[in-house]
Amino acid sequence: MVRPGVLVTNAHVVEAAMMEQIKIYFPSSKEDPKKAFTAKILYFDRKRYLAFLNVDDKAAKPLRIADKYELESGQDITVIGCPGHAGGGLLDLTVTKGVMGVRTKLGSSPYYQMSITVNGGNSGGPVFDQRGQVIGVVVAKSTRQEQMSYCIPWEDLKEGIDKVEKQDLDAAIKEASARHSIHVVAQRVVVAGRIYHQVMQIYAAFIQQSQKQGRPPQEFLNQARKQVESQIKAAENDLLNPEIRKLAVQLRTDSSLKPAARQRYEEVWNTFNEIKDWVDKPRELTNYGTKTRELGEKFRKQTMALAIAMGFEADEDE
């Protein structure tokens, strides 16, 4: 909590779920640590991995944010979070100590590098200086080196807080909710499209095998379908259930999207449905492999263009 009723986390913590699916808990609450709070999104910045949520202003007391901060390499720091453990669960309010490293970049974005151990569940947690002031937000760890991790710098956190404070609450929620929903739905369409394209690749491989053996391709396709049932089920039931699919269709005319983004989304949506159709009704079997490659390259370029148009392009090293 950075202000009464304002909670900060990483964008990637909330980017895959609609807000009505998200519940907030405060393990340190003296009243009821198991009480679940609902939240509304106030500010969502995918490029800087920050999300600001509006929760009950009596849920928890805000932490103290540093008024100013200059990075001090070797400075003692503390991280509090709920990291995962070997048993598969999360540990509540784990305190970890380490030292601040240097300012660095991942892709084109600046970060503070820290010599401290963090794990999944620390994402979005506060980084404290020796005086208990928040100076950063945990965002990532190195997969190559032990005790090397990264946090979003104090300046970005402060800038986000300032933006939230200057906005009208209702207007901020309306704008951020639309931006977040658009990202969730578009992301699911892209992932589902990739799954269906993987199914096309499996079909193409089986068809090629049938051609080599001089046997009817339909016989091999029946075998292929048994292999891809779980992938198709994941795409249809988990990623694009009827409610999400309805939103996905509505996005085509959503005024919250800028014209360029709406055009790019329309292209992605149309190609997604084209790929799905070639999975549902395989045809032109002698050229199925060629069609698979063409649609895969087309979808890849379109999804990249959509990410740029929507302002959600990822860092180079993500």
SS3 of residue 134 by DSSP: strand
Q: Tell me if 262 sits within 8 A of 254, measured CB to CB.
A: yes
Task: Give the pLDDT of residue 312.
Answer: 64
* Beta-bridge mates of residue 54: 6, 40
Considering the domain architecture, whether residues 280 and 181 belong to the same structural domain is answered as yes
* Dist. CA 44–CA 167, nearest whole Å: 13
Considering the domain architecture, whether residues 210 and 282 belong to the same structural domain is answered as yes
Considering the domain architecture, whether residues 147 and 203 belong to the same structural domain is answered as no
Considering the domain architecture, whether residues 185 and 145 belong to the same structural domain is answered as no
Would you say residue 134 lies in a domain?
Answer: yes
Q: What is the pLDDT of residues 158-195, one digit of tens each?
A: 999 999 999 999 988 988 888 888 888 998 999 999 99
Handedness of CA 150, 110, 186, 19 (dihedral sign): positive
N-terminal to C-terminal alpha carbon distance within the chain: 27
Q: Tell me if 87 sits within 8 A of 68, measured CB to CB.
A: no
Would you say residue 102 lies in a domain?
Answer: yes
Would you say residue 112 lies in a domain?
Answer: yes
* Dist. CA 44–CA 64, nearest whole Å: 22
Considering the domain architecture, whether residues 148 and 205 belong to the same structural domain is answered as no
Q: Tell me if 176 sits within 8 A of 44, measured CB to CB.
A: yes
Task: Give the pLDDT of residue 317.
Answer: 36
Sheet containing 6-10: order of strands: 6-10, 50-54, 40-45
In this prediction the pTM is 0.78
Give percent of the chain with pLDDT exceeding 90: 53
What band does 53 get if pLDDT is binned at 50, 70 and 90? very high
* Dist. CA 47–CA 237, nearest whole Å: 29
CA neighbor of 193 nearest in space, from 271, 280, 108 = 271
User: Cβ–Cβ contacts within 10 Å for residue 304, how many?
Assistant: 15
**Phi and psi for 22 in degrees, rounded to 5?**
-95, 130
Q: What is the pLDDT of residues 234-279, one digit of tens each?
A: 888 888 888 889 989 988 888 878 889 899 999 999 999 999 999 9
**Number of compact structural domains in the chain:** 3
Considering the domain architecture, whether residues 102 and 131 belong to the same structural domain is answered as yes
User: How distant, in Å, are the alpha carbons of 72, 128, 236, 284 from that of 102?
Assistant: 8, 16, 45, 57
What band does 87 get if pLDDT is binned at 50, 70 and 90? low
Looking up residue 153, the CATH number of its domain turns out to be 2.40.10.10
Considering the domain architecture, whether residues 243 and 297 belong to the same structural domain is answered as yes
Residue ranges of alpha helices (H) inside the chain are 11-14, 154-166, 169-213, 217-233, 242-250, 259-280, 288-309
Would you say residue 215 lies in a domain?
Answer: yes
Q: What is the DSSP letter of 310?
A: T
Would you say residue 257 lies in a domain?
Answer: yes
pLDDT at 211 over 90: no
Considering the domain architecture, whether residues 43 and 98 belong to the same structural domain is answered as no
* Dist. CA 102–CA 74, nearest whole Å: 9
Considering the domain architecture, whether residues 211 and 304 belong to the same structural domain is answered as yes
Considering the domain architecture, whether residues 181 and 304 belong to the same structural domain is answered as yes
Considering the domain architecture, whether residues 184 and 305 belong to the same structural domain is answered as yes
Considering the domain architecture, whether residues 185 and 305 belong to the same structural domain is answered as yes
What band does 85 get if pLDDT is binned at 50, 70 and 90? low
Q: Can you give the residue range of the structural domain that contains 218?
A: 175-309
Would you say residue 65 lies in a domain?
Answer: no
Q: Of 104, 130, 157, which closes a domain? A: 157
Would you say residue 268 lies in a domain?
Answer: yes
Q: What is the pLDDT of residues 5-52, one digit of tens each?
A: 999 999 989 988 888 889 998 888 888 888 999 999 998 888 888 999
Would you say residue 69 lies in a domain?
Answer: no
